[in-house]
Structure 1
Amino acid sequence: MTEARSKHRTDGQATRERILEAAGELFAADGYAQTSAKAIAERAEVSLTLINYHFDGREGLYRAVLIEAHRRLAKLSDLRDLAKSELPATAKLRVLIYGLVRPATKRQPGWHINVLAKEIFAPSTHFPFLFEAEVPAKLAIIKQVLSDITGIPPDDPALVRCVISVLAPCSMLLVAARGAPGPLDEVRRMPREAIINHLHAYALAGLEAIAREHGHRKPPRSDRSGAPRRAATSRSTKSKN
């Protein structure tokens, strides 16, 4: 009896994941409005009854796809691990930038990127649900990293502006149409490390300027690995001695 129940749960989870994957691919290609539950059922090779059983219909399925898409882009558990790590804040910022640049520079970024792009450029009525479910906890971690760099308290409105300034260039690389002529596509074809180095240095310079403007401590400049230059210089001096 126990084995039968376990197999049923495993089969049910596999079916749910298959539906989610099929829906993600179709929503990414055609958008929410143009994707029917019937089309999803056919692609996933399941009945409409199973879609209703696992997701309570097309709306529930789309919300599940949005949640999955956001988690594929940035897992809360990964961000929490980063926050708890002993890396300096400047290095944590580099990790955050890498996490956005990496999928942005892939030839095939995955359906989750296209789903999020469509939702950003033409928000559906489900966007507030996605925001409330996924964004606040992740945003709090990002704000804390920027607060550690600038000395600006996390609840200061200036830090929200810093978040936008740091993440906007990465987000544009993520969601802008691929293959269209222009600077964004040109940047995507550049070496990934060069893009990350540039965005990291650019972000740190801006954060340093905002920190000075607000009378807070000056954040340390970082080397290409994200470690503070002062520490790197100190180690270099010791090795010479």
Structure 2
Amino acid sequence: MAGQRAKTCFQEDDPESGVLRRATVEFIGTALLMLAATGAGLTSHRLFQNSLGLGLFVNAIATAGSLVALIFAFGSASGGHFNPLITLLQWLSGERKLNCTVAYVAGQFGGAIAGVLMANGLFQATDTANDLVTPWALVLSEAVASGSLMVIVFGCSRSGRKDTGPIAVGLWLAAAILATPSASYANPAITFAAFLAEGPISLSALAVSLYVPAEILGALVALAIVAVAYPTSVLPPRADDLMRATNV
């Protein structure tokens, strides 16, 4: 169509939408990216202290997987930068306005700090003698894991790019399992059934009773976060609506 802006990678679908909203999306995405990277690093340090190579491998999987998932989920809303270098080079190339650049970079730095603090908070409550995470930290971990997974699910859903959902969810889960102390059950049905399971996935009745409410709470927080990224007033039209419009 004449006058319609072509969609390109690392460019938001609507560059005229509110700068604050798009910068907030960059804040959220960078925070989740840093949570995954920091959490995976702390996990690998706790489990593989004598194997630097294995630790780097774990960190690489979590960081790369989470980044792809976040770009899928938030690319339509903000461009999915989560890196000031991308934003600054777009500005230098004349692809982004200065006020947007400043807001994005501020959001990215703020998000990175928030992600580190979140990961540190999840892993700080450790029993150093036995190298085990305390129960309340595991409950908080499940709230974060479930919330972040729902952010990816509904971010992909509302972005209008439905084919990215399964890939993004799989990649994010791989990252979250490595990056959270609870190993990211992030599913009340799975959590409940884990009480009956044998092996590493098994959970006690007490853990199930604490994890499930935490997962529900995390999901509700995620819905509010996604509403910031994709307000209903700017959701992409459904494919069947487009078909009807072209046939009128």
TM-score (norm 2): 0.30
Of structures 1 and 2, the one with the larger relative CO (CA 8 A, separation 6+) is 2
TM-score (norm 1): 0.30
